[in-house]
Structure 1
Amino acid sequence: MKKDILKVGNLVARPGEKIQGNLTLKSDGDYEDVQIPVTLINGLEEGKTVAITAAVHGGEYTGVFGLIKLSREIKPEDLKGQLILVHITNVSAFEAKMQYIGPIDGKNLNRCFPGDKNGTYTEKLAHLISEEVYGQSDFFLDLHSGDIHEDLMPFTLYHREASEEVRLESRKIGELMNLGPVIGSGSDCGSINGMAMKYNIPGVLAELGCRGECNVDLAILYKNRILNVLYYYGLLEGEADEPKAEEVDYVHCMYCLDSDMDGLWYPSYSAGDEVDENQLVGYITDYFGNILREYHSPVTGRILYNTTSLAIRNGDPLISFISNVNDCTCCVNHGLAETHNMDNI
């Protein structure tokens, strides 16, 4: 959806311009104006408009650094199309160094999309990003980095319940990112990935990095994998590295265990470890070390991410699992096993 003028809030980039400034979420009396740092790059030639966001969660840093590197490297004269780069989406949570939720209303931004212009702070922020950023893009990349308390293996997530065209294109973007498992999610929990449903545009939620670390090598990897996507769609000159279907780690199902009590959490394994169905994967004790509950894997598969913090509250995520398509009972029931043409994912 190439436009001569690229406009986000009060920021305007004309063809051949790179503009950096702030998208403002106006105060409603409960909080002061919030300034969201944005880079607009408007190429001289027609092409796709791409939105890339980082730091939807306040404790996820690798994507922030990777996006800064990307924004400084790309010149508008080399670009065919337009880029909207939101460096820190959830500024209040980022500045407060908070995991999951924000300090103003205690809500998780990645559970509030597409937002509500008349809602609470986080709902208004989700609405602003939805309308100003995603609403005018042809596809999107949402860069996550494993929160302060998370250990995870890199992966990309796309919405498998979107239209067939959007679903297949989203999965293709996940393949081009080539970070690890490409996971089709059927969840409609208010995440940014749901933008694929609202605006009927492809996109992925990517995860690279963990435990609140800002790893320079991983940031560079993030930047390079984004460039690979931009090469493929012709926004930049370059040869895209396209993995073959048999080389892609397609995943259909995620299984999550949440805590049902307060206490101390002791995981038994790390992200990427393989576990068997019913295998003990961790336990919760009281503050005196007495075991209150043991948790076992619901599937034979791999640990996608787990919580590393000792403190756990009732309802907190503990650990998430994925199964290989050919080993997953659910995938077998859906007729997805023993094929590399995952059109049904």
Structure 2
Amino acid sequence: MTSVGSADASPGTVDTGRLEVGETRDGSSFGLPVAVIEGAEDGKTLYIQAASDGDELNGVGVVQRVVPQIDPEELAGTIIVVGIVNYHAYQVAEHRNPIDDTKMNRAYPGDETGTSSERIAAATYDVARRADLVLDLHQGSTSRMIDEVRVRCGRRHRLHSECLELAKTFGCGYVLDQKGPDGQLARVAPSDGIPAVDPELGGAVGWDESSIETGVRGVFNVLYGYGFLDGDPEIEAQTRAKAFDQYGSPVGGLVTFDPDLGDRVTADETLFEVTDVFGNLKARVTADHDGVFWRSRRLPQVASGEYVCSVGKNVDSY
């Protein structure tokens, strides 16, 4: 039997419940929604979490669709899911935890006596560290972005190859292989010997069907690829970037992009133009290096110096 909070699943069953992590401002307790799928056969443990950033809903959409599709009688091993991590931010559709103004994915491994975010991080990491593999589902928030998987442990880390293989098995098509900031789950877990990645499922405000479906396929690729379910993952060659060039606007105005997301660009190729409201050209910005057009702002209006887009560079396939 596997227990997480109030969810208890014996072999061949599914249970849902709550993982209590603290109290709200009126003194009432609150918990995170959890699911445990205990396979009929022994095997590895997969931990999945979503919405550690409260406005990144595509991961919640993945969880909503994946959990009902898994038959525990056909499963070898255990799947543990925390469907919403950043409880307070999710309630108000904000990115950061409004209780302590913290980005949750900078708070791992957490502190059970610390701030609100540190306590939630500690409670969820206590669950995650029981797993053999970790998927931390994210998205690009308000930016437009390709579906990708991020390997955050760093290329010199002893578990780098295992994390890179997990990213490839998830199979979004694009991988960012760049060491992440302190406090990210996908950086902390490998230091405890657990391969972990964070799929960034597109960029949208709210709910993007295409990226959710990509995430569902990715989770099932992992379930097939690591022996949780019988079957073969749909794995193709992945395009990997090892760093980003980020571009801001030199002037204020309206942005028009030349490439589409996922397009290859070459050094000195036009990335975007900025015009005034009457269509008069004010600036043209070109790429510094060859790469892949990876991410761009959603709305066209910009101020001088404001972020516009990113190009993945040092690109290869594996």
TM-score calculated relative to the size of structure 2: 0.84
Are residue 131 (structure 1) and residue 121 (structure 2) matched?
A: no
User: Is the CA contact (8 Å cut-off) linking 2:5 and 2:17 kept in structure 1?
Assistant: no
Are residue 104 (structure 1) and residue 99 (structure 2) matched?
A: yes
User: Is the CA contact (8 Å cut-off) linking 2:24 and 2:30 kept in structure 1?
Assistant: no
The superposition leaves residues 157-212 of structure 1 with CA deviations (integer Å, 9 ceiling, x where unpaired) of 11352776521121111112221212211223322211333322112111223222
> Per-residue deviation at 1:215?
3.3
User: Is the CA contact (8 Å cut-off) linking 2:256 and 2:300 kept in structure 1?
Assistant: no
> Per-residue deviation at 1:251?
2.1
Structure 1 residue runs of 5 or longer lacking an equivalent are 286-290, 327-339
Structure 2 residue runs of 5 or longer lacking an equivalent are 276-280
Are residue 27 (structure 1) and residue 17 (structure 2) matched?
A: no
Quote the residue 1:95 is aligned against.
91
**Aligned pairs for 1:175-214 within 5 A:** 175-214=168-207
In the superposition, relative to structure 1, how do residues 14 and 258 fare at CA in structure 2: closer, same or farther (>3 Å)?
A: farther
Quote the residue 2:4 is aligned against.
8
SS at match of 1:169: helix
Range with greater deviation from structure 2 (119-128 or 191-200): 191-200
In the superposition, relative to structure 1, how do residues 165 and 265 fare at CA in structure 2: closer, same or farther (>3 Å)?
A: farther
> Per-residue deviation at 1:294?
8.7
Quote the residue 1:235 is aligned against.
228
Report the residue type matching 1:230 in the other structure: L
The superposition leaves residues 143-163 of structure 1 with CA deviations (integer Å, 9 ceiling, x where unpaired) of 12331x210011111135277
> Per-residue deviation at 1:252?
1.9
Are residue 115 (structure 1) and residue 110 (structure 2) matched?
A: yes
Q: Aligned partners of 2:189 and 2:313: how far apart in 1?
A: 24
SS at match of 1:26: strand
In the superposition, relative to structure 1, how do residues 163 and 299 fare at CA in structure 2: closer, same or farther (>3 Å)?
A: closer
SS at match of 2:53: coil
Quote the residue 1:154 is aligned against.
147
Quote the residue 1:333 is aligned against.
none
In the superposition, relative to structure 1, how do residues 257 and 190 fare at CA in structure 2: closer, same or farther (>3 Å)?
A: farther
Quote the residue 1:61 is aligned against.
57
Quote the residue 2:278 is aligned against.
none
User: Is the CA contact (8 Å cut-off) linking 2:147 and 2:200 kept in structure 1?
Assistant: yes
SS at match of 2:144: strand
Q: Aligned partners of 1:316 and 1:117: how far apart in 2?
A: 38
Quote the residue 1:307 is aligned against.
297
> Per-residue deviation at 1:239?
2.1
